[in-house]
Structures are given as C-alpha cells and as structure tokens.
Amino acid sequence: MKKNRVTVKSNKKKYRVNRSIQVPEVRVISPNGSQQVTNLDQALKLAESFDLDLVEIQPNANPPVCKIIDYGKFLYEQDKREKENKKKQKGSSVKEVRFHPNTDKHDFDFKAAHAEEFLKKGDKVRATVVFLGRSIIYTDQGYALLERLTDRLSHIAKPESTPKLEGKNLFVFYAPDNAKVAALKRKEKQQREAEERALEEEKRERAEKMKEAQERRKSDND
C-alpha cells in the first residue's frame, strides 16, 4: 500500500488512515459501493489491491465504517465543498420590506414583488409592519397583512417563525425554499424560451408574407 499517498494539508477533522486505524474489525465500503464487515488486515489488503487508502469515516459506528478512497482527493473535494458553501453564505443577506397596517393593494403588491426578487436571489427577507402613533390599535390588521404576505410568498419561501410584535414593529422572517426557487426559475426559463420561439415564429411568418406579397407584385407587373 502506498504509505506516502496523503499529501494534501488540511485543517479539517483528522481521519485515521491506513495503519493509523486501530480496531480489530471494520465495515468496508469498496469503490464500487459494495460493503462487507471484515478484520482490519483484510480491509487493508483490499484497499491495497485498489491502490487506494483505507479511511475511517464513521469511527463511532459498530463496527467503525471505513471507505476505500484516494485520501488526498477526498480532502481536496472536502475543501472545495466548504469553500463553495462559504461563498454561498457570504452571498446571501437579509433584506427588509416595510408596510403599514393600512397599506393599500398597489403598495402591497409592489413590495411583495420586491420580496420575491430578494428570495429568488437567495436572500432572507424581513417583513415589518410599522405602527405609527395611534395605529398600534390596528395590530390585527398587521397580523392579517403578514398572513396575506405569507400566502403570497408560499410558492417561493416559508416563514422561519410566527410574527413577533416588538414595540411598534410587527415582523417575520422568510427564508427561500431552495427547491421551490429552483422549480420557479425552471418554469420562468421555459416561459421565456416559449415566448422567444413564438416571436421567432411570428417573424418567420411575417417574412414569408412579405415575400409572397413582393412576388405577387412582381408577377402583376410582368
């Protein structure tokens, strides 16, 4: 077995590899996905037959689970996934849309549309109903407004909790539902493509009609 295979440096969780594994029996997952419970020596020989490493991935299982893989490549892919996750987390933020208890339909629709755009980009949204002066007596309208907003955004997001009233602000946070966002984007893409095809077909038909008209005029002149 190649003892010097592992060359990738990583600050992640340390895994026991090859001869550093010190248990009598393990469950081995082969590169083809098959599994078997065997003693450690046999597991090491099996890994050597593939010219790969034996990596203990679940030390607390009974027996511990080991996987036959290229450990350096394994650490590299872990680093790559973590960097991608951090990038996604940095790219998201919390946006806010603000309402009043007497917000009219036009303003509600306008701000709800903004919330939808934020959520589609992966941002969370804080929806806040602000009660100015004596309007605090209309908290029921505020709750009803947020309920209406929750229903409006249900195709793309879900509230993280029930609305909370703090002072003169009633608010709730919405998180994008990634599966629904992806489905919506696919649907919008299909609609755009269908519209583009319809436009192209309309242009083609218009060009054919113009060509036919020109040919008729030419024939009449002849």
Query: pLDDT tens digits, residue range 95-107?
Result: 999 999 999 999 9
Superfamily for domain range 91-179:
Translation initiation factor 3 (IF-3), C-terminal domain (3.30.110.10)
CA distance 214 to 209: 9
What are the residue boundaries of the structural domains of the chain, listed by start? Answer: 18-72, 91-179
Task: Work out the mean pLDDT of the chain and round it to a whole number.
Answer: 88
| The CATH classification of domain 18-72, taken from the options 3.90.1150.10, 2.40.50.140, 3.10.20.80, 3.20.20.70 | 3.10.20.80
CA distance 45 to 133: 78
Q: Which residue has the tokens 């218009």?
A: 206
Give the pairing type, strands 164-166 and 169-176: antiparallel
Q: Is the pLDDT of residue 4 over 50?
A: no
Average pLDDT for 125-137: 93
Q: What is the pLDDT of residues 174-193, one digit of tens each?
A: 999 988 988 888 888 898 89
Q: Are 125 and 118 within 8 A, CB to CB?
A: yes
pLDDT of residue 222: 64
pLDDT of residue 92: 63
CA distance 157 to 126: 12
Average pLDDT for 25-37: 94
